[in-house]
Chains A and B, each alone.
Chain A
């Protein structure tokens, strides 16, 4: 949950990228990191296995600028998508302000997507959050691949409530900033309402 410091005039918000294994969460953060000016970003930390699968989390701090005299920082985290890392996923969700669900558009990953959304919902409830009442956007990633499911079907299966959704190719960066911006906007508007 956001941390507002009136003494140093800062607001920090936590964004978590969630989704099945290999859907492209880490790739999203890597692209944001590459394209952000040095003065606006901190070091990207990846706690990963030797085969570059996320083991605990990736972390990328962004300090994009000021709003109304307050430094606005976003802390981006990814969870490990592999099913057996569920205990770690729960830990990363603590104190989350907004969630990006990264779906893998490939036909053969549909079941994994659906399982992961369900897992997200359950893990949030455990922390006392309701996915339907928090800043939440969906990204349909890997749109560049040949064997992708149609957007209509993805929407039907993964986005029944009609939250903001984006097509993306995280490797080229298409849709990556659009997704981030959308969730940041929802978080800041939530703060405006007084949470």
Chain B
């Protein structure tokens, strides 16, 4: 397949959330999301319940995909940072570790400069966590030790989903 499957384990999930919580505080942000490039929400922190996180994740990924397409057209690899300025709230969107998208929503209590600075630091930390994560899932796959929950799945399980 084109990309290895994204798998998330407890240990790394906790580490990621710690980094995001810290970023939320240090950047004075309102809410932060981490989204897979395919549009699936990985995690979020801050005032997440105020937002339709699923839609947000899908549109963010669409946005990154579209600007990535634009970048290729003009001979760039990708635009790794996008900034959208609103009347009250702003969005800072950046690509981390080549495959996940970090979305920071902030208002006048913060500034673009501060967010940029803190995002940079957090990105490095997230980058190394994702690297570990990839290694781990590759190793698990090689050793055949994938604790995959669907190994025993039956026709009935699937029929029940749609009943």
Chain B hits for A33, CB < 8 A: none
**Given A7-B14, A42-B54, A1 contacting B153 (CB threshold 8 A):** no
Binding-face segment, B36-44, B85-93, B105-113: B36-44
**A80 CA / B39 CA spacing, docked (Å):** 18
**A149 CA / B59 CA spacing, docked (Å):** 37
The 8 Å CB contact of A67, one of B12, B14, B150, is B150
Judge whether B74 is part of the interface by a CB distance below 8 angstroms.
no
The reply to whether A64 and B55 form a contact with Cβ atoms under 8 Å apart is no
**A192 CA / B66 CA spacing, docked (Å):** 32
The reply to whether A5 and B42 form a contact with Cβ atoms under 8 Å apart is yes
Judge whether A83 is part of the interface by a CB distance below 8 angstroms.
no
Q: Which residue of B lies closest to A69 (CB)?
A: B149
The reply to whether B148 and A3 form a contact with Cβ atoms under 8 Å apart is no
Judge whether B49 is part of the interface by a CB distance below 8 angstroms.
no
Please list the residues of chain A having a beta carbon within 8 angstroms of any beta carbon in chain B.
1-8, 11-12, 14, 42-43, 45, 47, 56-57, 59, 61, 64-65, 67-70, 72, 75, 87-88, 90-92, 94-95, 127-129, 177, 180-181, 184-185, 188-189, 191-192, 194-195
Q: Which residue of A lies closest to B144 (CB)?
A: A194
Judge whether B3 is part of the interface by a CB distance below 8 angstroms.
yes
The reply to whether B52 and A42 form a contact with Cβ atoms under 8 Å apart is yes
Number of CB contacts from chain A to chain B under 8 A: 136
**Given A5-B8, A65-B160, A128 contacting B2 (CB threshold 8 A):** yes
**Given A8-B13, A59-B58, A94-B37, A65 contacting B161 (CB threshold 8 A):** yes
Interface size bucket, B side?
Answer: 35 or more
Least Cβ distance of B75 to chain A in Å?
16
The reply to whether B150 and A191 form a contact with Cβ atoms under 8 Å apart is yes
Q: Which residue of B lies closest to A190 (CB)?
A: B150
**Given A7-B14, A191-B148, A61 contacting B7 (CB threshold 8 A):** no
Least Cβ distance of A130 to chain B in Å?
9
The reply to whether A94 and B9 form a contact with Cβ atoms under 8 Å apart is no
B57-83: which residues lie under 8 A (CB-CB) from chain A? 58-59, 62, 65-66, 68-69
Q: Is the interface of A mostly helix, strand, loop or mixed?
A: mixed
**A94 CA / B3 CA spacing, docked (Å):** 10
Chain B hits for A128, CB < 8 A: 1-2
- The 6 closest A-B CB pairs, nearest first, are A95-B38, A7-B13, A128-B2, A91-B65, A5-B8, A64-B161
**Given A42-B55, A75-B40, A7 contacting B161 (CB threshold 8 A):** no
**Given A45-B55, A75-B39, A129 contacting B1 (CB threshold 8 A):** yes
Q: Which residue of B lies closest to A9 (CB)?
A: B149
Judge whether B5 is part of the interface by a CB distance below 8 angstroms.
yes
**Given A87-B69, A129-B1, A192-B151, A94 contacting B8 (CB threshold 8 A):** no
Least Cβ distance of B66 to chain A in Å?
6
The reply to whether A68 and B6 form a contact with Cβ atoms under 8 Å apart is no
Chain B hits for A191, CB < 8 A: 148, 150, 153
Judge whether B146 is part of the interface by a CB distance below 8 angstroms.
yes
**A167 CA / B137 CA spacing, docked (Å):** 40
The 8 Å CB contact of B2, one of A6, A61, A127, A189, is A127
Chain A hits for B2, CB < 8 A: 1, 95, 127-129
**Given A68-B152, A188-B153, A7 contacting B9 (CB threshold 8 A):** yes
One digit per residue, 1 when the CB lies within 8 angstroms of any chain A CB and 0 when it does not, for chain B 122-163 equals: 000000000000000000010000111111110101111110
